[in-house]
Amino acid sequence: MIGYGFMGAAHSQGWRVAPRFFDLPAQPSMSVVVGRNSGAVTAAAAKWGWEEAATDWREVIARDDIDIVDIVTPGDTHAEIAIAALEAGKHVLCEKPLANSVAEAEAMTDAAARAAERGVRAMVGFTYRRVPAATLARDLVAAGRVGEIRQVRASYRQDWLSDAEGPLTWRLQKERAGSGALGDIGAHAVDLSEYITGLRLQSVSGILDTIVTERPLLAEGIGLSGTASAERGAVTVDDVAIFSGRYGSANGAYAPLGTFEATRFATGRKNALRIEVSGSLGAVAFYLERMNELDFFDATLPPTEQGFRKILVTEPDHPYVGAWWPAGHMLGYEHGFSHQVVDFVTAIAEQTQPHPSFADGLHVQRVLDAVERSSATGSSWVPIQS
């Protein structure tokens, strides 16, 4: 695993726990975690269960005993590491968004396609697909339970930047993060809406805004931790993204509209990802802050019996749930990362393409780019390259 911050902890939990609850077709070994700071990465290795620590990712991917490279670094390093790892014959799991630009994502996707011809697999980590309730929503839509899809509403709202004196971290620098709320959390809303509906966005129209344009620098350098200094630096990414999208139609059906919001300034909202899909026969609504529940509306019932009902997604027959606890015992945020490991390792063992693929990640990158161009030019609708 290359990187050891917030996502490093989450991915480590996934690698460590998945083999102990699921019967995997191959057993992953947590060989080495890589970071630039020798002391910090050594501490991370000991804390999270990695066998060793290293500071040079190039040396690690050249090793014969490494089969999988898991990339959890900031977005500006994804392309270089992923392409090098794929060319070295390593299977690659890369955190979202896939890259910081469409050009980088295209290069990564091309490298993944070449690698696939040699049996080397690549997957992007849109982990919320693997929350059991979100997977169940996809299953219900695919089974026709909501009928023809007519409208989609998606929002991802957080408030961790609402303090204007919060420090300038790498997530607020375009050269490091690629974009702000749009790519950091808006990418999740885009991917999950497409995963649940089975439809892809064809065009978008939106606007981006930066609410706080300057923040204190960290005395110890720009990073994830440290003491804020008196010196200030420019915020070069968006704080809020609001956009509309038109999905493609399926089998000549109506091409539905979707509305999207991504913000890290929604005071009081901590991790409020919501997806609601309305159709001719019903609707589903998923809310991450109630991640063990799915709201389902059956419009085929008599009007006297209609109403959203809560499905508690904890039964053994629900997606992924059977490997965990007795019915009614809740799962948490970290379980999606174990499910990610299950699906990735299974695909590698079965020599199939895991999803979401780098091509899927490229599509999301093109959506993000189209939103940015719409905002920058004031264009009403920007088509998304297929």
Q: Are strands 201-209 and 382-383 parallel, antiparallel or unpaired?
A: antiparallel
Residue pLDDT, tens place only, 181-217 = 999 999 999 999 999 999 999 999 999 999 999 999 9
Q: What is the mean pLDDT of residues 145-171?
A: 96
Tokens of 249: 């139609």
| Residue of 96, 133, 127, 123 whose CA lies nearest to 275 | 133
pLDDT at residue number 292: 98
In this predicted structure, what is the pLDDT of residue 229? 65
The average pLDDT across 296-320 equals 98
**Domains in the chain with CATH codes:** 6-125 (3.40.50.720), 129-331+363-376 (3.30.360.10)
CA distance to 17, 52, 101, 275, 318, per residue, from 30 (Å): 11, 9, 30, 34, 29
245 has pLDDT over 90: yes
Residue 165's CB is within 10 A of a number of other CB atoms, namely 9
* Mean of pLDDT over the chain: 96
Residue 319 and residue 198: Cα distance in Å, rounded? Answer: 17
**pLDDT value at 228 more than 80:** no
Confidence (pTM): 0.95
Average pLDDT over residues 270-281: 98
pLDDT band at 221 (very low <50, low <70, confident <90, very high): very low
So what's the pLDDT on residue 220? 57
Backbone angles phi, psi at 32, to 5 degrees: -155, 140
pLDDT surpassing 50 at residue 291? yes
In sequence order, the β-bridge partners of residue 384 are none
Is pLDDT at 219 greater than 80 in this prediction?
A: no
Is residue 162 very low, low, confident or very high in pLDDT (cuts 50, 70, 90)? very high
Cis peptide before 354 (omega within 30 of 0): no
Using alpha carbons, list the distances in angstroms from residue 77 to 50, 101, 177, 238.
22, 12, 10, 20
Q: How far apart are the first and last CA of the chain?
A: 32
The pLDDT of 292-314, averaged and rounded, is: 98
Tell the burial category of 167 from Cβ atoms under 10 Å away from its Cβ (0-12, 13-18, 19+).
buried
Residue 11: name the closest of 344, 291, 340 by CA.
340
Binning pLDDT at 50, 70 and 90, where does residue 223 land? very low
What was the pLDDT predicted at 320? Answer: 98
Q: How far apart (Å, rounded) are the C-alpha atoms in residues 245 and 380?
A: 11
Band the pLDDT of 227: cuts 50, 70, 90.
low
What is the rounded distance in angstroms from the CA atom of residue 122 to the CA atom of residue 356? 9
Percent of the chain at pLDDT > 70 equals: 97
Provide the strand spans (E) within 31-166. Answer: 32-34, 52-54, 68-71, 91-95, 122-125, 149-157
Rounded to an integer, the average pLDDT of 333-346 is 98
Per-residue confidence band for 222, with pLDDT thresholds at 50, 70 and 90 = very low
